[in-house]
């Protein structure tokens, strides 16, 4: 039995499909199928039923999955403790959902930490559910996710079941980001109805109406946006906004200085009435990891400063 086989089982159980699990793990589907058959043969039980609708875990598989998760979590915790246990460097993987201040916060943290001899940091973007899976599975150390305040209790239950801890980084109403030359940039409080004439840039994984009704205003009109471009990451979104005439996007309240390469402004729009929260999440097993905790503390402080400056 190999740890990799256990990770395959966990991914298949989460995704309900070998194909989807293979994509998530960046593995070839035949390799996962072969590994699963070998594992079931070696331990003498059937972990999944193969059905036309996907992989369904068996009762014996349920028991195996609980034990597999515990073993994988302990292995990641052990590896994390020793691979990050260094006095002269930084090694971290971070994953976030459309959080504009994450990159400048990490850069500022590195500058302040004075641990530049060894730096190995990976920063990725994904949707909330994938971020939680990446943290839970030990493939990322720190996640930053955004959810409406009304969904916070549901999120807390989900995280607790996965032994994930969360800290609030920021609570806010969404604001508008646009070029300084945008016709609406002259407003202190942008009239919502005027946005209809301009191109909205949205995160590639978001559903337009779901995002608008969950994060901006529950009364957001279904047919309001006729011009929308979806982009997969922050860099593409900013590049598009910088190139497309009179485009805009919704962001958390950060100052324009968070985008030093772009001549942009952050504007209030009173139509955005829903309160949102940015949470920093990490595994419970990382509570004693000095590097991870230092980064998390800095992110919380940085987000608070960004929010305060943006509201002034």
Confidence of residue 305 (pLDDT cuts 50, 70, 90): confident
**Going by C-beta distance under 8 Å and a sequence separation of 6 or more, which residues neighbour residue 2?**
35
* Residue whose token pair is 């070839």: 28
- The structure's pTM equals 0.69
Question: Which of the two residues, 175 and 234, has the higher pLDDT score?
Answer: 175
Residue 222 pLDDT exceeds 70? yes
Q: Determine the Cα–Cα distance for residues 288 and 268; give it in Å rounded to an integer.
A: 40
Bridge partners (DSSP) of residue 250 are: 176
Q: What is the average pLDDT across 69-96?
A: 72
Number of Cβ within 10 Å of residue 70's Cβ equals: 12
CA distance 115 to 199: 43
We find that the CATH architecture of domain 3-82 is: Orthogonal Bundle (1.10)
Specify the domain boundaries for CATH 3.40.190.10 within the chain. 84-172+276-311, 175-273
Please state the rounded mean pLDDT for residues 148-158. Answer: 89
Q: Which residues of the chain does CATH 1.10.10.10 include?
A: 3-82
Q: What is the pLDDT of residue 117?
A: 66
Q: Where are the alpha helices (DSSP H) in 141-246?
A: 152-161, 208-215, 234-243
Report the topology of domain 84-172+276-311.
D-Maltodextrin-Binding Protein; domain 2 (3.40.190)
Task: Assess whether pLDDT exceeds 70 at residue 245.
Answer: yes
Q: Which residue has the tokens 């959902």?
A: 97
Residue 82 reports pLDDT greater than 60: no
pLDDT digit string, tens, across residues 188-209: 999 999 999 999 998 776 788 8
What per-residue string of b and e applies to 267-291 under the rule 16 or more CB within 10 Å gives b? bbbebbebebbbbbbbbebbeebeb
pLDDT of residue 164: 92
Q: Taking 70 as the threshold, does the pLDDT of residue 281 lie above it?
A: yes
Give the pLDDT score at 114. 65
Q: Which pLDDT score, from 0 to 100, does residue 116 have?
A: 57
Residues 155-184 have pLDDT tens digits of 888 898 888 999 999 999 999 999 999 999
User: Which tokens go with 258?
Assistant: 């968070």
Residue 182, burial from CB neighbour count under 10 angstroms (0-12, 13-18, 19+)? buried
Encode pLDDT of 22-76 as tens digits.
887 778 888 899 999 999 999 999 999 999 888 999 999 999 999 888 888 777 7
* CATH code that applies to domain 175-273: 3.40.190.10
CB 284 within 8 A of CB 166: no
Q: What spatial distance separates the first Cα and last Cα of the chain, rounded to whole Å?
A: 58
Structure token digits, residue 29: 């589907």
Rounded distance between C-alpha atoms, residue 143 and residue 96, angstroms: 5
């Amino acid at each position: 039995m190999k740890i990799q086989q256990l990770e395959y089982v966990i991914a298949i159980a989460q995704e309900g499909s070998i194909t989807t699990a293979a994509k998530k793990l960046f593995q070839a589907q035949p390799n996962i199928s072969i590994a699963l058959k070998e594992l079931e043969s070696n331990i003498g039980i059937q972990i999944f039923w193969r059905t036309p609708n996907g992989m369904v875990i068996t009762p014996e598989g349920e028991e195996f999955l609980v034990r597999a998760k515990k073993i994988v979590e302990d292995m990641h915790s052990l590896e994390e403790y020793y691979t990050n246990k260094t006095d002269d460097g930084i090694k971290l993987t971070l994953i976030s959902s459309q959080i504009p201040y994450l990159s400048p916060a990490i850069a500022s943290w590195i500058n302040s930490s004075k641990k530049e001899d060894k730096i190995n940091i990976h920063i990725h973007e994904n949707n909330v559910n994938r971020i939680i899976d990446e943290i839970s599975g030990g493939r990322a150390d720190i996640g930053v996710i955004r959810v409406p305040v009304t969904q916070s209790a549901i999120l807390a239950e989900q995280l607790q079941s996965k032994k994930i801890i969360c800290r609030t980084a920021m609570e806010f109403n969404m604001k508008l980001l646009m070029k300084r030359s945008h016709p609406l940039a002259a407003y202190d409080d942008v009239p919502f109805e005027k946005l209809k004439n301009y191109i909205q840039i949205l995160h590639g994984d978001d559903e337009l109406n779901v995002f608008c009704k969950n994060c901006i205003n529950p009364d957001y009109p279904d047919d309001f946006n006729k011009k929308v471009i979806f982009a997969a990451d922050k860099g593409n979104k900013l590049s598009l906004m910088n190139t497309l005439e009179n485009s805009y996007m919704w962001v958390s309240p950060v100052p324009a200085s968070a985008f030093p390469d772009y001549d942009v402004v952050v504007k209030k729009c009173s139509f955005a009435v829903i309160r949102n929260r940015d949470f920093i999440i990490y595994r419970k097993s990382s509570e004693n990891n000095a590097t991870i905790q230092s980064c998390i503390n800095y992110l919380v402080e940085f987000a608070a400063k960004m929010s305060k400056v943006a509201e002034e």
